[in-house]
Structure 1
Amino acid sequence: MHKLLASAHKEFLLLIKDFGGLVVLFVMPLVLIITITIIQDSTFKTVNDVKIPVLVVDNDLGSVSQHIQEGLANSNAFQVVVNGSEKNAKDLVFSGAYQLAIIIPENLSSDLEKKVNQNVEGIIAKFSLEDDTETKTVEIPKKEVRLYFDPATQQSFKSSVKNGIDKMISKIETQSIYKAFQDQITDDPTEAIFETDNFIHFKEIMPIKDEKEIIPNSVQHNVPAWTLFAIFFIIVPLSINIVKEKSQGTFVRLRTNPVSYATVLGGKTLVYLCVCMIQFILMLLVGVYFFPQMGLPTLDISGRIPLLFVVAFFAGLAAIGLGLLLGTIAKTQEQSAPFGATFVVILAALGGVWVPVFIMPKFMQTLSNISPMNWGLNAFYDVFLRHSGLVEILPEISLLFLFFIITTLIAIVYNEKKNAI
């Protein structure tokens, strides 16, 4: 135990003497989480908070175009800006001034009314008991609502806008059909024969705590994700520290003492595990106290602190095991530093820190299961968002601990074989 504590004390002295390393370990993660959370907060807000200006060129000037503009305005997601020229609207969108322009064709309302009346009259004529002459069908050309998108617009935004407008126009067509049937069946325009309101609707059921709905926000997603990124980023200074000891001859002197390599790694593990826990505490403090001062949601950790520390503890062990392995295998700092930083980014991408796993291709979703960041992130989400207990997060923290054991054992075995030759 004395040798382990002495090794840990040595690591502590080396760490506090490296001011640049301390900045990378503690300051940079805080700057990262604050920046990313501010940027992503708008994606978690309600549509009432952000309105996207949309150009509308109304060549119809009828009831349908009026319904379309009212539907866009009432959605609270768009700010309707009426423009009189399709060419002008197209130029503005393609230059990036606006993200979307909607071009409503001429005679849309009148042609829709003619088409619906013609179809309704044909149906009624077929069911009529009287021998009527065949109704004359007039070919009415189909109408096309054109959409112009900024070339830089994401595909997900395009799809959501297309679906929304398609749903809106379908509702207008349905109501027109109901109205045409009603006009044919009864002479009383005030008599309602058909209900035009949607019979089927959707309702999202949110988790409830203390009779209030629990709505996920940007802080609950970003704090665990970027805390894991910061924790795993310690593999860079940790591996550099091990390589530096080998290149400066410190490790040779350590080998002349009756100290096993496992004890040396144990001292590093103790110190850097404390670093991971300090990083985690700082992230929680930022989420609880600093974010509300910036107008961001408060991180709710009530009743979750013990489980959160358990997840952070095992995530820290996994990161340390990876750092010990990298530092043992690497021969120079030029090998350990770039590889460590790049590898952390790859693990973060695979683990769902950058992009949610569920939108990845199937192959990448399968591959993400081998990322320790994915295990840690799922465990954090279980605690933060799913209100799980220790039993539910046991598989993830077991994988993290197993990852630490395997990587550390590989580092010890590799070092013994290398020194035995």
Structure 2
Amino acid sequence: MMYKFLMSVYKEMLLLKRDFGGLVILFVMPLVLIVTITLIQDSTFKSVNESRIPILLVDHDNGNISKTVKENLNESGSFEIVTKIDGATVTEASAKEAVFKGKYQLAIVIPEKLSADLQLKVNQNVGKIVSQLGLEDTTSVVKEKVVVKSKEVKLYFDPATQLTFKNAVKSAIDKMISQIETQSIYSTFQDQLGEGDEPIFEQESFITFKEIVPKVNDKEILPNSVQHNVPAWALFAIFFIVVPLSINIVKEKGQGTQIRLITNPVPYAVIIAGKTATYLMICMIQFFLMVAVGVYLFPYLGLPVLDVDGKLLLMSIVALFSGLAAIGFGILLGTIAKTQEQSAPFGATSVVILAAIGGVWVPVFAMPKIMQYVSHISPMNWGLNAFYDVLLRNGNIVEILPEINLLLLFFIITITIAIGYDKKKRAV
């Protein structure tokens, strides 16, 4: 039986050797893909200080509020304030035109007398409260109340801007204005009630937020584009083995090779074992090539290095079982398909769908609720979660066992169905 298995592996090697161009594509294309995607996505994982978005600012106020807004935008490190276009001072009309044409993502228009009118409104409200409390100066002259109209800070967004960016900017601007209003109220109360230099109100925020991230050796573990893309696209490459594997099985059926093998006789399980061993080696070579790119090539491209210290063994285990799941799916598809025209398009499309719902392209948490549940049926999602447990969550073998068991179960189920279908078909 061992001899038959080894001959089956040798036969698969010969088939792959004859299609050397296809074999090269299996290794080269995933490497090109992972480098390209990582370079494109790297800016989204960099700190905000490394990527500043130019925004137009039209300041009709020229007061404390506009000054504070400018300072906060500059200090955030996310934005670069632009007040001139081609040497001309930006107006609301020119800002609107530039943004709507896609030259800038955002324009902020601060209305006239915003600072003065806000202070006047605060003075009126504080004066009213002080008066009701009986704390006002009896010698003060009663002033005629001036009606202060509400002000509107206008935000112009590029129509192509994502909704998440819009919401983030609006939230940040609203927070800034709220802080300015609060400080104005405190200061006005201080002026009317306080005596001396010691402040009555503490204006520092009482509630603050602090992000707690995992640490190893007192060093924070911060995710980057490489840690996300290497495992994600390694899985995509591993599962794309489905296409050539299923095509080869269909070829064998069409050329009569499978019939000759069975008449030797060679059980179909041995044929499957030979294919599994051969293509599993290819999957692991793909994986190690991608890891090598992340460790050795990415630093020369200005990308973060992939840190695999103490993690390579667990990552290899995840890749191994992911490869088994991919091979099981490919063998099942090749066993059921009757022609290459059936296996190739279906195999490629199904892999793309599994990648899409598995979180390879879009993170699962960003998907609609129903798709978050659907993602759990994708083997790529199981493999990706296992990789993240190792790379980002500092997980051990026990913590990735659930995902590994799912991948192994998927392999066993697909292989069992393939063998059962083949026996039934031959019996007929």
| TM-score for the superposition, normalised by structure 1 | 0.97
Given that 1:57 and 1:86 are in contact with CA atoms closer than 8 Å, whether structure 2 keeps it comes out as yes
C-alpha distance in 2, partners of 1:359/1:183? 48
From 352, 355, 358, the equivalent of 2:362 is 355
Does 1:96 find its partner at 2:102?
Answer: yes
From 168, 181, 185, the equivalent of 1:173 is 181
In structure 2, do the counterparts of structure 1 residues 117 and 354 end up closer, same or farther at CA, with 3 Å as the change threshold? Answer: same
C-alpha distance in 2, partners of 1:131/1:92? 52
Which residue does the alignment assign to 1:20?
A: 21
From 196, 200, 205, the equivalent of 1:193 is 200
C-alpha distance in 1, partners of 2:412/2:382? 16
5+ unaligned residues in a row in structure 1: which ranges?
none
Which residue does the alignment assign to 1:46?
A: 47
Instruction: State the secondary structure of the residue aligned to 2:148.
Output: coil
Trace 1:117-128 onto structure 2 (pairs within 5 A). 117-128=123-134
Q: Counterpart amino acid of 2:192?
A: Q
Given that 1:58 and 1:84 are in contact with CA atoms closer than 8 Å, whether structure 2 keeps it comes out as no
Does 1:346 find its partner at 2:353?
Answer: yes
Deviation of the 1:137 alpha carbon: 4.1
Q: Counterpart amino acid of 1:273?
A: L
Deviation of the 1:20 alpha carbon: 2.5
Which residue does the alignment assign to 2:9?
A: 8
C-alpha distance in 1, partners of 2:135/2:22? 91
Q: Counterpart amino acid of 1:160?
A: A
Given that 1:4 and 1:263 are in contact with CA atoms closer than 8 Å, whether structure 2 keeps it comes out as yes
Given that 1:60 and 1:106 are in contact with CA atoms closer than 8 Å, whether structure 2 keeps it comes out as yes
From 151, 155, 159, the equivalent of 1:151 is 159
Deviation of the 1:248 alpha carbon: 1.6
From 132, 145, 149, the equivalent of 1:141 is 149
Q: Counterpart amino acid of 2:94?
A: N
C-alpha distance in 2, partners of 1:115/1:218? 48
Does 1:85 find its partner at 2:86?
Answer: no
Name the count of aligned residue pairs. Answer: 420
Cα RMSD between the aligned structures? 1.5
1:205-241 per-residue CA deviation (whole Å, 9 max, x = no partner) reads: 1211122111111111111111100000000000011
Deviation of the 1:252 alpha carbon: 2.1
From 232, 235, 238, the equivalent of 2:245 is 238
Given that 1:236 and 1:341 are in contact with CA atoms closer than 8 Å, whether structure 2 keeps it comes out as yes
From 289, 300, 309, the equivalent of 1:302 is 309
C-alpha distance in 2, partners of 1:255/1:130? 103
Which residue does the alignment assign to 1:250?
A: 257
Deviation of the 1:40 alpha carbon: 0.9
Trace 1:314-329 onto structure 2 (pairs within 5 A). 314-329=321-336
1:332-382 per-residue CA deviation (whole Å, 9 max, x = no partner) reads: 111111111110010001111111111211111111111101110011110
Structure 1, 360-369 or 117-126: larger mean CA deviation:
360-369
Given that 2:247 and 2:334 are in contact with CA atoms closer than 8 Å, whether structure 1 keeps it comes out as yes
C-alpha distance in 1, partners of 2:119/2:57? 22
In structure 2, do the counterparts of structure 1 residues 185 and 156 end up closer, same or farther at CA, with 3 Å as the change threshold? Answer: same
C-alpha distance in 2, partners of 1:390/1:332? 41
Deviation of the 1:134 alpha carbon: 8.6
C-alpha distance in 1, partners of 2:378/2:143? 68
C-alpha distance in 1, partners of 2:406/2:316? 16
C-alpha distance in 2, partners of 1:310/1:251? 32
1:46-67 per-residue CA deviation (whole Å, 9 max, x = no partner) reads: 1110110010011111111111
Q: Counterpart amino acid of 1:33?
A: I
Q: Counterpart amino acid of 1:230?
A: A
C-alpha distance in 1, partners of 2:114/2:355? 50
C-alpha distance in 2, partners of 1:176/1:215? 38
Trace 1:195-234 onto structure 2 (pairs within 5 A). 195-234=202-241
C-alpha distance in 2, partners of 1:167/1:129? 31
Identity of aligned residues (%): 65
Deviation of the 1:84 alpha carbon: 3.3
1:246-304 per-residue CA deviation (whole Å, 9 max, x = no partner) reads: 11221222222110111111110000000011011101101111111111111111111
C-alpha distance in 2, partners of 1:137/1:397? 73
Given that 2:382 and 2:407 are in contact with CA atoms closer than 8 Å, whether structure 1 keeps it comes out as yes
Q: Counterpart amino acid of 1:236?
A: V
C-alpha distance in 2, partners of 1:54/1:197? 29
Does 1:377 find its partner at 2:377?
Answer: no
Which residue does the alignment assign to 2:191?
A: 183
Q: Counterpart amino acid of 2:120?
A: K
Trace 1:250-289 onto structure 2 (pairs within 5 A). 250-289=257-296
Deviation of the 1:70 alpha carbon: 1.2
From 363, 371, 376, the equivalent of 1:364 is 371
From 389, 405, 414, the equivalent of 2:412 is 405
| TM-score for the superposition, normalised by structure 2 | 0.95
Deviation of the 1:24 alpha carbon: 2.4
1:99-143 per-residue CA deviation (whole Å, 9 max, x = no partner) reads: 000010111011101000000000100111679799854321111
Given that 1:93 and 1:99 are in contact with CA atoms closer than 8 Å, whether structure 2 keeps it comes out as yes
Q: Counterpart amino acid of 1:226?
A: W
C-alpha distance in 2, partners of 1:130/1:295? 64
Structure 1, 195-204 or 287-296: larger mean CA deviation:
195-204
In structure 2, do the counterparts of structure 1 residues 146 and 333 end up closer, same or farther at CA, with 3 Å as the change threshold? Answer: same
In structure 2, do the counterparts of structure 1 residues 164 and 320 end up closer, same or farther at CA, with 3 Å as the change threshold? Answer: same
C-alpha distance in 1, partners of 2:280/2:263? 27
C-alpha distance in 2, partners of 1:137/1:256? 103
C-alpha distance in 1, partners of 2:253/2:347? 17
Q: Counterpart amino acid of 1:281?
A: F
